[in-house]
Structure 1
Amino acid sequence: MTRILHPVSEVAEQLGVGITTAKALIATGQLRSVKIGRARRVPADALHEYVRRLDAEQNGTNAA
């Protein structure tokens, strides 16, 4: 089964950044997340949205 919510440590690994950077992306709203109890999780589609937005910004295209 494919996971639909990822812990921040896994998100950092998938994006190839440190945990501090992943937490900063969440804190600034650049990466959407949800809270379940005390745990912060990132929806799988939020990772794809973030990468599409980065690509669009860096290549001068519109993010869809």
Structure 2
Amino acid sequence: MTTTAPDRVRLDSHEETADTPLLLTVEEAARRLRIGRTRMYDLVRSGAVRAVYVGRLRRVPTECLQEYVTRLITQGEG
């Protein structure tokens, strides 16, 4: 019987498929981060998480969520 190491979260191993959205609504981004909608809007308004406009619709690129989480990790280490 072989044992394996526990699964570890790797930030650079996110697998994207054709169905993976590149842009999220602010509410979807909040769910991805497991935070409240109001907190997510505050992060976007403050510029902590970048967002883009597509016409009149505000969207959060998934890569911007990743950048935010990476910054949180880096700040926690320093």
Fold shared per TM-score above 0.5: yes
Q: Deviations over 1:12-44 (max 9, x none)?
A: 001011110000000000000001222110001
Say which one has the larger Rg.
2
Match of residue 41 from structure 1: 59
Give me the whole-angstrom Cα distance separating, in 2, the residues matched to 1:54 and 1:48. 10
Unaligned runs of 5+ in 2: 1-17
SS of 1:3's partner is coil
Identity %: 42
Match of residue 40 from structure 2: 22
Aligned length: 60
**Segments ≥4 residues shifted beyond 2 Å:** none
Unaligned runs of 5+ in 1: none
TM-score by length of 1: 0.88
TM-score by length of 2: 0.73
